[in-house]
């Protein structure tokens, strides 16, 4: 194996965190802001890129970091190195309610494709790069543009999903139609494209957008029930506006609705 072998345990139900056990000199890499806690003896170090291109010198690091910039991530990641004589543990928390998914890349032919903000952490040696879409429809209407994130190597990686998680194993030729934001990730054999929903009523009044994703097997697909973008949209829509008291401002039923909700502020 080129990636470090790590042991792990996932705790919690709705707000999960993953605890990773490191042998001496083992390393795990993580996105900034995912750190939760660690035992004494582990050193935290900021690295350029994902650390997988170190053997290629500065150019390898530069290419690795450049790929991350294209997915909207930082040039830097954080490495956690066990410098203690025995086993030490470090934990990383999910950013919002959902599930942490362990991905053993050795079982997926060394590659897994996911939404660009799904990656949480991985064993050192795992490459975190970009996956360009070769289909125009997917790039323009897929909700994630032409770029998704790819995780490559032979070690363990961890990605995060929102809400409840569904794992689907698609047979050859089997098709699953999914809201574009609900895709967490899929194996490299899965064919992914975007389809127009069709119909004037569906397009104008359906409220579900104009396009959905089609995932064609064979392969494994992970689906989330609550994309963070959907959660954020609901929060923004419900937030009080400047000079007002919420989304019901100006509605004929606004005052009555607030009174029924127990809000006495008029």
The domain spanning residue 203 has which CATH number? 3.60.160.10
Number of structural domains (the chain) is 1
Whether 145 is covered by a domain: the verdict is yes
CA 136 to chain centre: 23
Give the structural domain span for 41.
7-234
For the ranges 1-10, 77-86, 188-197, 254-263, the lowest mean pLDDT is seen at 254-263
**pLDDT tens-digit profile of 65-114?**
555 565 556 678 899 999 999 999 999 999 889 999 999 999 999 999 99
Q: State the pLDDT at residue 149.
A: 87
Whether 38 is covered by a domain: the verdict is yes
Whether 229 is covered by a domain: the verdict is yes
Q: Answer yes or no: pTM beyond 0.85.
A: no
Whether 20 is covered by a domain: the verdict is yes
> How far apart are the C-alpha atoms of 113 and 95, rounded to whole Å?
20
Q: Which of 124, 117, 180 is nearest to 154 (CA)?
A: 124
Coil, strand or helix at 148: strand
Whether 135 is covered by a domain: the verdict is yes
How does residue 181 score in pLDDT terms, banded at 50, 70 and 90?
confident
Q: State the pLDDT at residue 242.
A: 58
**pLDDT tens-digit profile of 137-168?**
544 544 444 568 899 999 999 999 999 999 99
């Amino acid at each position: 194996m080129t990636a470090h072998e790590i042991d792990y345990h996932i705790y919690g139900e709705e707000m999960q965190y993953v605890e990773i056990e490191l042998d001496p000199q083992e390393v795990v890499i993580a996105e900034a802001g995912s750190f939760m806690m660690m035992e004494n003896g582990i050193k935290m170090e900021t690295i350029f890129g994902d650390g997988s291109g170190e053997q290629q010198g500065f150019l390898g690091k530069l290419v690795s970091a450049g790929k991350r910039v294209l997915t909207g991530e930082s040039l830097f990641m954080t490495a956690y190195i066990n410098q203690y004589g025995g086993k030490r543990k470090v934990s990383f928390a999910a950013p919002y309610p959902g599930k942490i998914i362990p991905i053993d890349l050795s079982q997926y032919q060394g590659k897994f494709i996911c939404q660009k903000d799904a990656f949480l952490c991985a064993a050192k040696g795992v490459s975190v790069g970009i996956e360009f879409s070769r289909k125009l429809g997917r790039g323009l209407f897929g909700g994630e543009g032409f770029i998704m994130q790819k995780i490559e190597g032979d070690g363990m990686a961890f990605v995060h999903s929102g809400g409840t998680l569904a794992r689907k194993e698609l047979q050859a030729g089997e098709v699953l139609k999914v809201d574009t934001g609900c895709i967490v990730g899929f194996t490299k054999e899965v064919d992914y494209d975007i389809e127009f929903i069709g119909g004037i009523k569906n397009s104008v009044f359906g409220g579900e957008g104009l396009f959905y994703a089609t995932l064609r097997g064979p392969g494994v697909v992970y689906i989330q029930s609550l994309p963070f973008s959907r959660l954020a949209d609901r929060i923004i829509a419900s937030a009080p506006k400047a000079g007002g008291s919420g989304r019901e401002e100006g509605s004929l039923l606004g005052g009555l609705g607030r009174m029924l909700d127990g809000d006495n502020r008029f």
